[in-house]
Amino acid sequence: MALLYHVLTGPTAAGKTDLLLSRAARRPLLAISADSRQVYLYMDIGTGKPTLTERKILPHYIIDCVEPTAIYSVHHFLIDAARGFEAARREQRELWVVGGTGLYIRALVDNLELGSPPRPELRRALAGWLVDSSARALATALDLELRDPDNPARVIRAAELACRQPERARWIYAWAGLEYHESPPAADDGAAELNKARDELRRWRCAGIVALDPGQEALERNIIRRTRGMFQRGLPAEVGRLRDLGYGRANVVRHGIGYREAGLALDDELMAGEAIERAIIRTRQYAKRQRTYIRGRGWPVNSASGVLELFEQIDAG
């Protein structure tokens, strides 16, 4: 019999973590974070990571995995998720996948075929190019057609997928200043590690997906309160620390929601109030894209009370 897990998704600032914390206070839970920004070390305030105290109540996997200069993909997410699934099985904890990155959730629930393993050598070269340029410029230079050309991880992954065609691969590798091999070296092939992860994931079945959405007006209030709170808790100072650590030119720092605006305020290019308002606008736009994605997938949407009722149904068996 398959082991069961649940998924709690929804737009940013909907209150997903708070609901799971309320449940974790009553029973042993483990959370797999499906958030594409919380994977980065040293980026705590602006990504809305659960605090260390909250993580003691509700242990999280896939938080603080890589440095801000790294490119983190669905491929890595599945491998890291499998470790969390294994821990939940070993510790007999109720397992929840929680976050707003829809592609991560689909990769788990729908067992998406990723097309090809990552190419670390190519990734490093393209990530280095991104230090001095934008993701959109890279997508244009490599003639990649993307719905989200401003997302560096997706642009680099699209370049990898394009390399499935030998002619395109030779051109892209030459553009990046690399030598192309018809058969990538073994170190460039992450298929074995992914296959091992899938062995663990096949033990599990998704028992249901629920999307938390408090409604447009309440979500708007949450976004405003949360964004202002991030700046009050020291988001500009967090950007300063990232710069001191040598990560100031990383794309997730230079262009990330909140981080870009905090950096501009830190450099006195924006007044604090203007930086906050710009961050609110970008967060609102991101939440809108998330809600559209959720509706497009047909995932059931609930208020907080509806999610709490789901908890009671799970408990009732």
Domains 3-114+197-214+295-316 and 216-294 fall in the same CATH topology: no
At 5 the three-state DSSP class reads strand
What architecture does CATH give domain 3-114+197-214+295-316? 3-Layer(aba) Sandwich (3.40)
Look at residue 304 in the predicted model and tell me its pLDDT.
95
The closest alpha carbon to 242, from 51, 33, 36, 46, belongs to 46
Look at residue 117 in the predicted model and tell me its pLDDT.
65
Over residues 110-132, the pLDDT tens digits come to 987 665 666 878 888 888 888 77
Look at residue 188 in the predicted model and tell me its pLDDT.
46
Check whether 191 has a pLDDT greater than 50: yes
**HSE-CB for 188 with a 13 A CA cutoff:** 16
The burial of 24, by beta-carbon neighbours within 10 Å (0-12 exposed, 13-18 middle, 19 or more buried), is given as buried
Mean of the per-residue pLDDT values for the chain? 91
Over residues 284-313, the pLDDT tens digits come to 999 999 999 999 999 999 999 999 999 999
How large is the average pLDDT for residues 49-64? Answer: 96
Which CATH topology does 216-294 take? Helix Hairpins (1.10.287)
d(CA 24, CA 29): 5
The residue extents of the domains of the chain are: 3-114+197-214+295-316, 120-188, 216-294
* 238, two tokens: 């967090």
Locate the DSSP E strands across the chain: 3-9, 29-33, 60-61, 94-98, 204-212, 301-302
